[in-house]
Amino acid sequence: QQQVKQSPQSLIVQKGGISIINCAYENTAFDYFPWYQQFPGKGPALLIAIRPDVSEKKEGRFTISFNKSAKQFSLHIMDSQPGDSATYFCAASMTNTGNQFYFGTGTSLTVIP
Amino acid sequence: NAGVMQNPRHLVRRRGQEARLRCSPMKGHSHVYWYRQLPEEGLKFMVYLQKENIIDESGMPKERFSAEFPKEGPSILRIQQVVRGDSAAYFCASSPSGDTEAFFGQGTRLTVV
């Protein structure tokens, strides 16, 4: 079964707007939650990651919000730019058992100029 | 420091042939993960290796698929007697240890004709 559920499947945002992608997980043993950005024909690139001991992490225009009790986390892209148009994947792992990632199904983001 | 190197980038095989995919991890990284991405889907974990050891192969199909990470040289994902359903992008990721971020290669796109 899908261990990490991601929504929406696709997202269209105006330039300058906020893009929000949500993920939910079931396994409370997960302790590492990265987000990856993937352009067509390329490999996933690590964007930002969070561990469950913090509720928010910000790096530039990218912010992860983490709700441990709800078992949900989200990616916010502020001031979205056309260059942000890509597919975004959330993931979760258990670092004490090898850190294999369980990925969400991805969100295709299109930022309209 | 070069990133994770995968080759070939594209591989075409006829049904029944063997496919060999190579992955050279980043310098200093001794942990290698293989993932498969089917069209329009997220990445699925296949196998986790450290030098000369398979740590977790729970995501590997039981037949035709094997992986190794020898003491010297790249990690190899081997698919014997390929079938059309093996057509996918195969990504390798490496990590310096099993509890930190993982960096992905550009992938090998396998097409079985």
Q: Give the model confidence (pLDDT) of A11-50 as tens digits.
A: 999 999 999 999 999 999 999 999 999 999 899 999 999 9
**What are the CA-CA distances from residue A43 to residues A39, A75, B16 (Å)?**
7, 19, 27
Instruction: Pick A98's closest partner by Cβ from B48, B91, B107.
Output: B48
Reading the block at residue B60, the tokens are 């590997």
User: Cβ distance B13 to B112 under 8 Å?
Assistant: yes
Whether chain B has a CB inside 8 Å of the CB on A34: the answer is yes
- Report pLDDT for B98: 75
Whether chain B has a CB inside 8 Å of the CB on A44: the answer is yes
Omega within 30 of 0 (cis) for the link into B8: yes
**Can you tell me the distance from the alpha carbon of A17 to that of A32, in angstroms, rounded to the nearest whole number?**
28
Q: What is the mean pLDDT of chain A?
A: 94
Check pLDDT > 60 for residue B1. no
Whether chain A has a CB inside 8 Å of the CB on B43: the answer is yes
R_g (Cα) of chain B, nearest Å: 13
User: Cβ distance A90 to A33 under 8 Å?
Assistant: yes
Residues of B in contact with A96 (CB under 8 A): 99
Search chain A and give the residue with CA nearest B88: A41
Instruction: Tally DSSP H helices, then E strands, for chain B.
Output: 0, 11
Q: What is the β-pairing status of strands B19-24 and B31-37?
A: unpaired
Reading the block at residue B71, the tokens are 């003491």
> pLDDT tens digit string along B33-65?
999 998 777 899 999 999 889 999 999 999 999
Question: Which residue of A89, A99, A107 to mutate against B (max B Cβ within 10 Å)?
Answer: A99
